Structure 1
Amino acid sequence: MKTNLFFVRHAHATYTPDELSRPLSKQGLFDATNVTSILKDEKIDIVISSPYKRAIQTVDGIAQLRDMEIVLKDDFMERLLSDGPVDNFLQAITAVWENEQLSFKGGESNIIAQARGVKVTKEILSKYEGKNIVVGTHGNIMVLIMNYFDPQFDFAFWKQLTMPDIYKLSFDGHELVDVYRLWSSQNH
């Protein structure tokens, strides 16, 4: 019995230092309507999201269309790079991808963040076997999860993601059998 996860990387957000309540930008809100349009023809059984506002806002349209509550799962929140700002984000994110055990002060290594994301993914695959599940999440944690199931999803893959982006991952049990990119902001 095939289970489909529709990983939705959140749309563009307005920067604020408060990660949890950072909202979508005007462009992000517009792109979130496109996410709803793309997913409306899929038979969605459940909508799950990171607790971050920008992830919730990106999948809220499909939840409303299906008259569903969004189930919040903390483990789909973005990987914590450090407990404060880093001097050079690209340099820092490159370093943690090059050394999966590296972590900055108060942050998560790739191994730690991936374990968190994979654990919740496997729980969902078991609990909702045979269902179509939308997961509102973030780029880095999404790719770390995908990388666990197939190493081709790596740092180079992460760098080409757009905001938003949608990937349909099909599973047989806990085995990834297919990945298909439904949409990205580059073709809209």
Structure 2
Amino acid sequence: MKLYVVRHCEAMGQPPEATLTDRGFEQAQALSQFFNGIQVDRIISSPYKRAIQSIEPLAKRVSLEIELDSRLGERVLSTEELTDWLEKLKATFDDFSLKLHGGESSEEARKRIIELVEKIENSSSENTIIVTHGNIMSLLLNHFDKNFGFEEWKRLSNPDVFLLTIDINRVTVERIWK
């Protein structure tokens, strides 16, 4: 089974209703072209507007409905305004149980995305695309590759694509976006 993990394209902000920038819409077209020649059985997206807009061109081209799943939604680090949010985010990569005010710990966020991946694994789909956000994507990748941490999160691009090849006893992780 192949699971393509896609980070959304460049967006105008962080709120759920934030749309793509003009450059982000161009990236969405490039993302659609990137998947030329790749069989796609299913597309599941975060319900955030920027994630949906990132995959719409591909979904239309291959005539697939975009399934929305809140487990792919952005992780809330804290409900408080954090001037040192980058330091706090790093701390959550160092301590997966660390939970900031009103936020979700890395462990809680990773649990919800792993739950979705396990559900996909038990489905009949062989080639699924999930569209999500950088932090939640990093936590998923860390589950399969413990070397994927805060520094790797910092190097993610918008968009970005990783391929998880899931065999019976093993999962390989490969960054395929160039």
- TM-score range (shorter-chain normalised) is over 0.9
| 1:8 aligned partner | 6
Whole-angstrom CA distance in 2 between matches of 1:29 and 1:122: 31
Aligned residue in 2 for 1:137: 132
- What code does the residue aligned with 1:9 have? R
Amino acid at match of 1:5: L
Pairwise CA distance, 1:97: 1.1
Runs of 4+ in 1 over 6 A off after TM superposition: none
The range that moved more, 42-51 or 120-129, is 120-129
2:122 is paired with a residue whose SS is: helix
1:179 Cα deviation after fit? 2.2
Report the alpha carbon displacement of residue 173 of structure 1 after superposing the two structures with TM.
Answer: 4.0
- Please state how far the C-alpha of 1:41 moved relative to its aligned partner: 1.5
Alignment pair present for 1:90 and 2:49 = no
State the distance in 1 between where 2:119 and 2:33 align. 28
Distance 1:90 1:114, change over 3 A: same
Instruction: Answer yes or no: is the 8 Å Cα contact 2:8–2:51 preserved in 1.
Output: yes
Q: How big is the shift at 1:37?
A: 0.6
Alignment of 1:162 onto 2:177:
no
Give distance in 2, aligned partners of 1:128 and 1:59. 21
Aligned length: 178
Which of 157, 170, 173 in structure 2 is aligned with 1:179? 173
Q: CA offsets per residue over residues 20-71 of structure 1, 9 Å max, x none?
A: 1111111111111111010121000111101011111111111111111100
- Superposition deviation, residue 85 in structure 1: 2.5
CA contact (8 A) 1:40 1:62 kept: no
CA RMSD of aligned residues (A): 1.4
Equivalent residue number for residue 144 of structure 2: 149
Residue 68 of structure 1: aligned partner = 64
Who is 1:81 aligned against?
77
Shift of 1:104: 1.0
Q: Summarize the Cα distance change of 1:175–1:87 in structure 2 as closer, same or farther, 3 Å threshold.
A: same
Aligned-pair distance for 1:89?
Answer: 2.1
Give the deviation of 1:181 after TM superposition: 1.9
TM-score (norm 1): 0.90
Q: SS of the residue aligned with 2:63?
A: coil
**Sequence identity of aligned pairs in percent?**
34
Aligned 8 A contact 1:122 1:174 in 2: no
Which stretch shows the higher mean deviation, 55-64 or 167-176?
167-176
Rounded Cα–Cα distance in structure 2 between residues aligned with 1:156 and 1:15: 22
Please say if 1:22 is aligned against 2:21.
Answer: no
Query: How far 1:136 sits from its partner (Å)?
Result: 0.8
**Structure 1, unpaired ranges of 5+:** none
Question: Counterparts of 1:174 and 1:69 in 2: how far apart (Å)?
Answer: 31
Shift of 1:92: 1.6
What is the identity, as a one-letter code, of the residue corresponding to 2:130? V
